[in-house]
Amino acid sequence: MLNIIKYLVVPAVALVLTMKIYNWLNETLVPKAPETTEESKQEVLIGGPFSLTNQDGETVTNQDFAGKYMLVYFGFANCPMICPTDMADISQALDKLDDTQLEKVQPIFITIDPERDTVENIKTFLENFHSKFQGLTGTNEQVAAAIKEYRVYNRKVESDELQDYLMDHSSFTYLMGPDGKYVAHFSHEDGANKIAEGLKKYL
């Protein structure tokens, strides 16, 4: 219960609307996650180079995380439910690792909404989650390049009710190896325990 209170911050505004939009688009438009059988794992073309700015205003690239297992999640700070839930699950999964295992992992949040997710907004958002997280933003072009490398579905959804917009997106968490290549992925439904169990297989 304490972990949930610590990490899971779920604004009530537009919760029902967001879930309806997410469920409908996820069923009709969002591509399925790649198959990860032993035979197909080497053929999965997910991940690649990126150059972005972290929550401290520093320029970072994928090479800065070489030698670590990157746990990469794409989302946006204004998300009312899906992203905070997934980020909380990742945070709780990291809490289940021992110190040696945790040292090998670098969790990364990459925005799909660079128009609103400034360095300051990313830093504030990450205060709710595990302290190891690096939050990355950048120019529209830089973010679009990272999204393309990771084959992430994303789409702006206008909302008259909110007088603003939401971002619909695929909600997979990608585990990338120390060499930067795809290892595995976790879905929104997996939860903290399954993510932790999956990480421990490789650490």
pLDDT of res. 164: 82
pLDDT at 21: 42
State residue 145 phi and psi, 5-degree precision.
Answer: -65, -40
Kindly state the percentage of the chain with pLDDT values over 70: 77
pLDDT computed for residue 27 by the predictor: 43
Q: Which pLDDT does position 54 carry in this prediction?
A: 98
Residue 9 has pLDDT above 90, yes or no: no
- Cα gap 7→10, rounded to integer Å: 10
DSSP state of 198: H
* Closest among 112, 109, 73 to 195, alpha carbons compared: 73
DSSP assignment letter at 99: H
105-111 and 69-75 beta bridge pairing: parallel
**For position 37, what pLDDT does the model report?**
46
**Taking 90 as the threshold, does the pLDDT of residue 30 lie above it?**
no
Q: How many CB atoms lie within 10 A of CB 61?
A: 11
Q: 154-178, pLDDT tens digit by residue? A: 999 887 766 688 898 998 999 999 9
Integer Cα distance of 109 and 74 in angstroms: 6
pLDDT of residue 176: 97
- The H-or-E segment that residue 148 falls in is helix 140-149
Report residue 79: phi and psi, to 5°: -60, 125
Q: Return the higher-pLDDT residue of 15 and 118.
A: 118
Residue 64 has pLDDT above 80, yes or no: yes
Q: Which domains does the chain have, with CATH numbers?
A: 2-31+49-200 (3.40.30.10)
| CA 72 to mean position of chain CA atoms | 5
Q: Phi and psi for 103 in degrees, rounded to 5?
A: -65, -25
For the ranges 12-21, 69-78, 82-91, 136-145, the lowest mean pLDDT is seen at: 12-21
Going by pLDDT thresholds of 50, 70 and 90, the confidence category of residue 75 is very high
Q: Is the pLDDT confidence value at 29 over 50? A: no
Helical spans, DSSP H, in 32-174:
82-95, 99-103, 119-126, 140-149
Range 96-123 average pLDDT: 97
The reported pLDDT for the residue numbered 45 is 87
